[in-house]
Structure 1
Amino acid sequence: MASPREGGKPDVTQIVDHGVADQLTSAPVRPTSAAALARVQKAQNPGFGAVLKAYVSLTKPRIVELLLVTTVPVMFLADKGLPSLWLVLVVLVGGSLAAGAANALNCYIDRDIDQLMKRTSRRPLATHTVSPRSALIFGLTLAVVSTVLMATFTNLLATLLTAGAIAYYDLVYTMWLKRTTPQNTVWGGACGAAPVLIGWAAVTGGLSWTAWVLFAVVFLWQPPHFYALAIKFKADYARAGIPMLPVVRSLRRVGLETVIYSWLTVGASIALWPMGMTPLYGVVAVVTGALLLVEAHRLHGRARREEPLKPMRLFHWSVTYLTLLFAAVAVDVFIQ
């Protein structure tokens, strides 16, 4: 498969055909290197601990943690205090299982390209520690359990949002957007921001303008966050034929979009301030937002000057930014 040219588009037909063909069979893809072959041989007789660790790995726990960082503060704000601890526990467990289900199914669908990328070559399906069929059953089981849990202990809207987020991530983003358009990161952000709406709906049974503003913060935050990661692993995505923006557009263009979405993120976070938030939240939003903008502009400046980029600075700070901002949301509730 030819790599995408700068400013052009990858061969979408090859990408889609390769992905769909692999999804229709549970036969493992042949390892592409001696190192991959060695991992397969080592994985032929994994112990119980290794298998358990592999199944946990399928759920991508670090991503789940980040999603929960946004969910709990939103529940506090929706309740204007401390909601039922039982409800918080149900949403945390249900949300974790739902995110884990979406991630496990993502690993199943992406098993063809995971073997081609260094960053993902050690995932359980790429190393054959877990079979594709087992991963599929595991992901679907988590999806059913999470949906039933939410339906039993929350409400219809929260349940529908949970099921919709799983379906969107795997059917819309993973199977379609990721493999066909450089805007995959932007539109894929809807499922990453869904926990905000799920947490709000679980408490109130509905969605307010405040909930949608918080959704916008997380939705707009994701392009700068993931563009930084895509720059770091640009060669990986090119090798797998995935049209991430840094693969098919110039780094100057990526830097410009990073700046634009960073400004939009900060703007959305400040828009929340007059919606009943205290000056504490406002100060945190302004200060952390300013630091996010500094990193985004630094990345863009280096790209314009064609200097070596340090995208992981922005990546790591973006995680800290979101954590601090939503911590401020939680604290703000209890000082009003």
Structure 2
Amino acid sequence: MKRIILIFSAISSIHALGQVGINTTTPSSMLDVVSTGNTAATKAFDVKNSSNVELLKTMDNQYTGINLGAATPTAMLDVKTDIKHENLPVLSLPYSVLAVATSGAGISRATTTKYFYFKRSTSFGNFTLSNTNTYTNIPFADGSDVKGNTVGFDFGTDASATVNSQSVSNIKYIIVPEPGVYLFEMYQTAFCTGLPTTSSNTGQVAINTIFATANSGSSIYSTNTIFRDYAVARRLASGAIHVNSYAYANPQKLVVAYQSTTVNEKVALFVNYAGGDSYNTSTCSMNQPNSSDNYGYLIVTKL
């Protein structure tokens, strides 16, 4: 007992005003503790339970760890397992109450929705709908049709490329600048003039809208997602296909949640014949529905 008192006396100083210092002779507060180090290799404070498991520790580099065991804290506050917060103030937009950095650190920061909005002002075509190995590129390029681009997409053209091993020329693509999850939503309408070249007696054309990707610097595209819609023919009272059977708006849609994993990935969209009636001449296009101010749109939101 005497040894404990002597050791405590050697490292402590009681100031005349009732201030206590540990490892200092000039305490500046009621309890003033000065550690012996200033790096992450030594501890200023350590609490253990009866099983010698560390519960709370503060390193000499100012990092504090809770419930880490023998591990060293790697942030100003490093906590293992859940944290419960009570009576926190409510933050209004544009602030996120809690965000998590890639390192795992919890932060508060302003939030903004990054998006891309493209509204097509002219039609594109003409193309065939008769061969499942033929891919028609849906073009996207910078210009007045881009109504917003806070996500920072860029654009490019591959003069020659392959899509699922099929050769395609002049592919206009979008460049996704940074990894993340993006929601692509596209809507347009297809039409073909005149009677089908061949009829399957289904009275419809099955059309794929294809979402394809390629790595940065590559011109080899592969399918990520396929959306299939059906162009339905007009018919006469007798049931026969009308001469202008597909010459009106047939919706073609695409909704894809895409996870980009590397910088500057390339995204390109295509129209592809899937079955049913067919047109082997270039008489199909994307048209403007009645009362619409556009020929289709693409909206992308970074999630």
Superposed pair shares fold, TM > 0.5: no
Bigger RCO (CA 8 Å, 6+ sep): 1
Larger Rg: 2
TM-score if structure 2 supplies the norm length?
Answer: 0.20
Task: Tell me which protein shows more strand as a share of its residues.
Answer: 2
Query: What TM-score does the superposition give when structure 1 sets the normalisation length?
Result: 0.19
